[in-house]
Amino acid sequence: MNNVIKLANRPEGKPQLNDFKFSEEERPEPKEGEILLEAKYISVDPYLRGRMRDVESYIAPFELNEPMESTVVAEVIESNNTNFDKGEFVFGMLKWKELQTSTGNGLNKVDPEQAPLSAYLGILGLTGLTAYISLDKIANLKSGETLLVSGASGAVGSTVGQIGKIKGCRVVGIAGSDEKLSLMKDKFGFDEGINYKSTENMQEAVAKACPDGVDVYYDNVGGEILDAALNNINKNGRVINCGAISLYNEKETPQGPRHEGILVKKTVLMQGFLVRDHAKEFGPAIQQLAQWLQEGKITYEETVVEGFKNIPQAFLDLFEGKNKGKMVVKI
C-alpha cells in the first residue's frame, strides 16, 4: 500500500494537524512512458498556506480530499521511459505520496554527487533561486549600502544576507530568537541582528542597528516589521516584497499605516516578486549559487524532520519559527 496526505479542511486562521488527512491507496504501477518515483525529501513552505484557501491566486488552490503537493526530491525506482534510468534522482512539483508515477514532464534530474539531495529543495532549489533572482532583478545592491532582511535565519533570508555580504553591503537581519541571531552572525556573516520577539519598539531597534538608514529592505514577513523598515528607509531605497508570513494565518488582513507619503518623499521602489515567473533564469542562477557554494562563499542550514507522517507538523512548525534555514522532511 502507498501512503498519501490530503487536505481535509480549509483552515480558518492557524492550520491544525486535523486539517490534513492520511490515507492509503494501492501501490501505483507505471504505464508505458511513465516512471515510478519514491519520495526522498519533501519541502514544506510558507506559501502552501495560501493554497489551502479557496481563493484566486498565482497558483491554483489545493482541492479538498485531494493530495497536497510541494517540491520533492525523488528516486526513479522503475522506468518505462527512455529519458529516465532506474536509480536516477529528480526534483519537481510532486504529490505528498510515498510513491507516485509520472511522465517525467516538469521534472529536473539532480546530481547527488554535486550536492546533498536536500540542497535541491533549498540553496540550489526554489528558495536559493528566490533570493538570487529577486536581488538581481530588483535590489540593485551597491557596496557600502545597508541591506535589512526579515525572516533572516530562514531559507530565503539567510541566502539573501549572504549575497548581500558578497556584494559588499552591511547586512542586518531580523529573526525570532537570540539563537537565530547568533547563527546569522556566526555562520552567515551578518553584521547585526534584531530579535523581533524580544524588541518592544521595532522602529527604534532598526534605527539603532542601521545608523546610516536602510537602503534595501528585503521583506519576508510583512506587517509591523515592514512598517518599521519603511520608517527607516533612505532616499531612493528599494523594498523587495518576497513574502508576508506574519499575515498568512490572519482571518482578515489587518489595516496598517499608509505608506504613500514615505514612498513619495523618499522616492522608494517597492516591488513584489514571484520566483515562478523567472523559470528561464533558473539555469544560470543555480550555476552561480553552486559555484559560490563550492568556493565557500555561501553556506546553508537545514532543519531536517524525519518521516512521511511528520510532514504536516513540519509545515505547521514554520509558523512557530521552529526551523533554522530550510525546513525539509526526509522520507
Nearer to ligand NAP (CB atom), residue 215 or residue 302:
302
Least Å from the CB of residue 302 to ligand NAP:
10
Beta carbon nearer to ligand NAP, 70 or 102: 70
Nearest-CA neighbor of 30 among 7, 4, 2, 71? 2
Residue closer to ligand NAP (CB basis): 117 or 221: 221
Binding site for ligand NAP (CB under 6 A): 45-47, 126-127, 130, 151, 153-157, 175-177, 180, 220-221, 242-246, 273-275, 318-319, 321, 323, 326-327
Closest CA to 52 of 25, 21, 73: 21
178, 130, 152, 135: which is closest to 275 by C-alpha? 130
Q: Tell me the HSE value of 233 on the side-chain side, using a 13 A CA sphere.
A: 30
CB of 239 to ligand NAP, least distance (A): 13
In whole angstroms, the minimum distance from the beta carbon of 135 to ligand NAP comes to: 12
d(CA 135, CA 211): 22
- 130 vs 232 by CB, closer to ligand NAP: 130
Min CB(47)–ligand NAP separation in Å: 4
Q: Helices 126-134 and 155-166, interaxial angle, to 10°? A: 40
Q: Measure the CA–CA gap between 330 and 117, rounded to whole angstroms.
A: 10
Backbone angles phi, psi at 260, to 5 degrees: -55, -40
Residues 212, 1: Cα–Cα separation, whole Å: 60
| In the chain, beta strands by DSSP E | 2-7, 20-25, 35-43, 69-79, 89-95, 99-102, 108-110, 146-150, 170-175, 192-195, 214-219, 233-241, 269-272, 302-306, 326-330
Tell me whether residue 129 or residue 262 sits nearer to ligand NAP (CB atom).
Answer: 129
Nearest approach in angstroms of CB 18 to ligand NAP is 21
Residue nearer to ligand NAP on the CB measure, 77 or 274: 274
What dihedral do alpha carbons 58, 304, 246, 166 form, nearest 10°?
-80
Min dist CB 281 to ligand NAP, Å, is 13
Give 47 or 308: the residue with its C-beta nearer to ligand NAP. 47
Q: How far is the CB of 187 from ligand NAP (least distance, A)?
A: 14
